[in-house]
């Protein structure tokens, strides 16, 4: 199995180092899970000191970011214009570069040129809520994600849906506390049986500086076509931060795997200026799923096609 780490999410630097990506680790094709093999997320005693500390930490970070004018939810505006050249350049950095490379089953930050990756078959997303998230918040989050998935399907023209039966899913989103995350190994193994022990250990050991993350897998026979994905989002997050993680991780799991400091207005940028998918990001996703592009294309192969697609999608009035 080829596993690509798509996002380390919001890692704190001088500001916050957000999400990122690395190339996939192929799997024997089997995104579907056999009936009756998916256990529930086990309840844990708690919250632990680590979980309580994480909740305070994330609440403080969100307040600081909002006070500085970051984590915007307006999708961009007149203060952040962009044109076809911006779209073309940003697409190449976000879709055709990796932020992580895999060494010994673990992911190490390293910017490298990559080939185009995306889903070709339908994307069926399942939400797995840990007991640490109250039922009222689970219902709220489910509605938010459902509406967001409809938006992604419209923007990409690709079949993307939220499914209630996790055995039908090939994209699993785990919304858990740090305590639940530590015990998530058997459930991750159940939904992705071919996943290596080192990668599962990394998923269950992410520190609080890894705000959220997504890992996408491809098969050996089609290494640039995603077959499954797993995202991790923390219940210790306050609402806005958790919503931002849904927006970024689910979109990155569709193939926009990298971040770029020049991408603006965009959630694919470590500066965390924007919390929600922007009009710029919608255009990047539309380009990614245009049939004139093909999985496996190199930056050199894709560049002239992307330039045409960007010109077709540039905002009216841009130069």
Locate the domains of the chain by residue range.
2-35+66-313
Q: Which two tokens stand for residue 176?
A: 């858990």
- Span 116-141, mean pLDDT? 98
Q: How much is the pTM? A: 0.88
DSSP of 131-168, one letter per residue? TTS-HHHHHHHHHHHHHHHHHHHHHH-S-EEE-S-GGG
98 versus 252: which is more confidently predicted? 252
17 phi/psi in degrees, rounded to 5: -85, 110
Q: Which two tokens stand for residue 164?
A: 């209630």
- pLDDT category at 99 given cuts 50, 70, 90 is confident
**Topology (CATH) of 2-35+66-313:** Collagenase (Catalytic Domain) (3.40.390)
- Span 216-234, mean pLDDT? 96
- Least Cα distance to 227 among 4, 20, 40 occurs for 4
- pLDDT category at 10 given cuts 50, 70, 90 is very low
Residue 183 DSSP label: T
Q: Give the pairing of strands 212-219 and 106-113.
A: unpaired
DSSP of 6-68, one letter per residue? EE--SEESSSEE---------B-S--S--TT--PPPPP-S---HHHHHHHHHHHHHHHHHHHT
Q: Which residues contact 282 (CB under 8 A, 6 or more apart)?
A: 151, 155
Quick one: pLDDT at residue 42?
Answer: 85
Contact 245, 53 (CB under 8 A): no
Quick one: pLDDT at residue 32?
Answer: 45
Please count the other Cβ atoms lying within 10 Å of the Cβ belonging to residue 165.
11
């Amino acid at each position: 199995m080829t596993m690509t780490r798509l996002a380390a999410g919001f890692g704190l630097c001088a500001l916050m180092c957000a999400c990122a990506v690395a190339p996939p680790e192929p799997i024997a094709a089997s995104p579907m899970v056999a009936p009756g093999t998916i256990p529930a997320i086990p309840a844990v005693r708690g919250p632990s000191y680590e979980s309580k500390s994480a909740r305070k930490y994330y609440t403080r970070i969100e307040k600081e970011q909002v006070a500085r004018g970051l984590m915007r939810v307006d999708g961009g505006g007149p203060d952040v214009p962009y044109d076809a050249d911006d779209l073309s350049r940003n697409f190449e950095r976000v879709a055709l570069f990796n932020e992580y490379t895999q060494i010994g089953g673990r992911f190490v930050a390293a910017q490298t040129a990559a080939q185009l990756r995306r889903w070709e078959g339908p994307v069926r997303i399942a939400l797995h809520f840990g007991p640490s998230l109250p039922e009222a918040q689970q219902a709220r989050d489910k509605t938010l994600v459902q509406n967001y998935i409809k938006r992604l399907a419209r923007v990409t023209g690709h079949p993307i849906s939220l499914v209630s039966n996790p055995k039908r899913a090939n994209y699993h989103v785990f919304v858990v506390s740090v305590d639940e995350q530590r015990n998530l190994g058997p459930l991750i193994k159940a939904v992705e049986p071919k996943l290596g022990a080192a990668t599962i250990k990394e998923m269950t050991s992410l520190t609080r500086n890894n705000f959220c993350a997504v890992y996408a897998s491809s098969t050996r026979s089609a290494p640039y076509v995603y077959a499954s994905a797993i995202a991790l989002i923390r219940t210790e997050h306050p609402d806005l931060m958790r919503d931002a993680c849904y927006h970024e991780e689910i979109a990155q799991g569709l193939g926009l795997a990298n971040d770029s400091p020049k991408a603006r207005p965009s959630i694919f940028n470590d500066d965390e200026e924007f919390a929600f998918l922007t009009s710029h990001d919608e255009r990047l996703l539309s380009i990614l799923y245009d049939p004139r592009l093909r999985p496996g294309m190199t930056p050199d192969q894709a560049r002239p096609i992307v330039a045409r697609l960007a010109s077709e999608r540039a905002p009216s009035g841009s130069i």
